[in-house]
Amino acid sequence: MSADVTLEDVRQDAGLEETEEPLDLAPVQRIIESLGETKGMLIPVLQEVQKVYGYVPEEAADMVADLMGIYPSQVFGVLTFYTQFHLTPRGRHIIRACSGTACHVRGGKSVISKLEHMLGIGHGETTEDMFASFEKVACLGACGLAPVIMIDNDAHGQLDAVKTERIMENLREMDMMKRGE
């Protein structure tokens, strides 16, 4: 690639022009300014950034590095090490399905299969309509309720495929009502 060809040129040639408005980074500036001293505060800063956007956009991570006087690789190292951080937009609902031993032996596989089928996505993915993000996790710490899922902060236990389908239908219906659809 020639030195005078930019990444933007390549995106345009491939039909990938960005259609979104530029990201408002003012909240990132406010978060860092509110701290005063930022030494040792990278994780709390990133947590606050994620609260604002629902994930940590690349532009925000770059700004954090710049304002904190650290390398972007340090920021991205933290973002990719800790599972609490997300680099892509997440759904309105976070659905976590336990794949631990207790859930597995009590039929958790059918619950996970039902979720994947109803959502049309797999582990670590988000539905196109941003309804939900789905994650399989090693344990939710509710083995007595096995098989169990968490939807946002609510646990649903002693599930099978039929109960799971009913829960998901109710969630979709409530989501539509809340959004005025």
Give the strand pairing for 154-156 and 132-137: unpaired
pLDDT of residue 20: 67
| pLDDT band for position 27 (cuts 50, 70, 90) | very high
Instruction: Tell me the mean pLDDT in the region 45-74.
Output: 95
Q: How confident is the model over 44-50, as a mean pLDDT? A: 96
Q: pLDDT tens digits, residue range 125-159? A: 999 999 999 999 999 999 999 999 999 999 999 99
pLDDT category, 10, cuts 50, 70, 90? Answer: very low
For residue 119, how many other CB atoms are within 10 A of its CB? 20
What's the confidence (pLDDT) of residue 173?
A: 96
For residues 19 and 73, give the distance between their C-alpha atoms in angstroms, rounded to a whole number: 27
State the pLDDT at residue 42: 96
In sequence order, the 6+-apart residues with CB closer than 8 A to the CB of 72 are 61, 62, 65
Identical fold between 7-81 and 93-178:
no
Domain 7-81 sits in CATH at: 1.10.10
Distance between CA 61 and CA 41 in Å, rounded? 14
Q: Above pLDDT 70, what percent of the chain?
A: 89
Token pair listed for 173 = 């219906």
Q: Which long-range contacts (CB under 8 A, 24 or more apart) does 27-34 make?
A: 27/52, 27/53, 28/52, 28/60, 28/63, 28/64, 28/67, 29/63, 29/67, 32/64, 32/67, 32/68
Average pLDDT of the chain? Answer: 90
Task: Tell me if residue 166 falls in helix, strand or coil.
Answer: helix
What are the structural domain ranges in the chain? 7-81, 93-178
Mean pLDDT across the stretch 174-178?
Answer: 94
CATH topology of domain 93-178: Glutaredoxin (3.40.30)
